Amino acid sequence: MAKFAGLSEQQGHSPRRKKAVLLINLGTPDAPTSSDVRRYLAEFLSDHRVVEIPKLVWKVILHGIILRTRPAKSAALYKSIWTEQGSPLLDITRKQSEKLQQYLSQTNPDVEVHYAMRYGNPSIASVLKSMHETGVDDITVLPLYPQYAAPTTASSFDAISKELMTWRYLPSLQFIHTYHDHPDYINALVESIKNDFEKNGKPKKLVLSYHGMPKRNLTLGDPYYCFCKKTTRLVVESLGLHEDDYITTFQSRFGKAEWLKPYTDATLEELAQNGVDDVAVICPAFSADCLETLEEIQCENKEVFEEASGKHYRYIPALNDDELHIEMMANIVRKHL
């Protein structure tokens, strides 16, 4: 087919056939300051997938109350976990991307690996634009939320769709929407727990704490709760735990509405009061350690437990850039490559 005058093959209609994997995580402020946190929260809490209150009512609450009071408090919490490399979530996601690139290079050397944040930087739109400019037209998206949920997984798809709506030449797109029961994911969790038990001893109770969401989401059809319960079941079956050895809980509730129960902090307090004074907590819904694990679980909830007479409390880190975790990612995306 004849080319249009002045257009090279790269600029014309010939397929470019460059493949890429895009890892997506939730996001983080650029810095632990009130202004950066305010900007991050404004983007995050303006997403109707995250807060389903009628927009006009929520806009008044968000801008009239929350963004006036919460940024300074949240900034102090972010500052407590910030490292020389910056945000732990961003740093870990970057390492995951780099290690996945190295892992895939053994079998798929032509595949690029990128990462983006749903809120904050690098944004999904900016990373997609960069990929497009370098000729990528076949994208496999892996949102790093093991259990599908509308406020996380679906919101990531929304952001991708919003950007692609502006493109004339759309890429081939594979969107992996959940991996809550993938054998490699379960195995990575199980090995992480086994390693902790071997090092620190088996606790009286293993607490599997997942990020919470309003109970209303479940009644409206979001499968997140069911996926969390299945992850727990597969993990404890593999570990050979009995019913009294573990419990599934939900953390990070926000606002006055009823959220998925039991709540993590209330459960830890109750366990300690009832004589269960030795617990280990793992957060299977988090693919990388962040504010909700490093500050809320590792610090705040430890205080709750100890103040209720609990003696031994430990947090089992997220899978982060552990080798089995990277191998899992590679195996999940490889079938799409």
Q: Taking a C-beta distance cutoff of 8 angstroms, is the pair 209, 315 a contact?
A: no
Q: Taking a C-beta distance cutoff of 8 angstroms, is the pair 87, 124 a contact?
A: no
Give CA–CA dist 133/237, Å, rounded: 47
**Cis peptide upstream of residue 122 (ω within 30 degrees of 0):** yes
Give CA–CA dist 61/78, Å, rounded: 23
Q: Which of 282, 276, 272, 273 is nearest to 314 (CA)?
A: 282
Q: Which of 30, 125, 45, 89 is nearest to 320 (CA)?
A: 89
336 annotated among ligand-binding-site residues: no
How many other C-beta atoms are found inside a 10 Å radius of the C-beta of residue 184? 16
Strand partners, 23: 115, 142
Looking up tokens 């059809």 gives 221
211 annotated among ligand-binding-site residues: yes
What does the DSSP 8-state code read for residue 257?
Answer: S
Which segments are annotated as binding site?
211, 292
Which segments are annotated as binding site for Fe(2+)?
211, 292
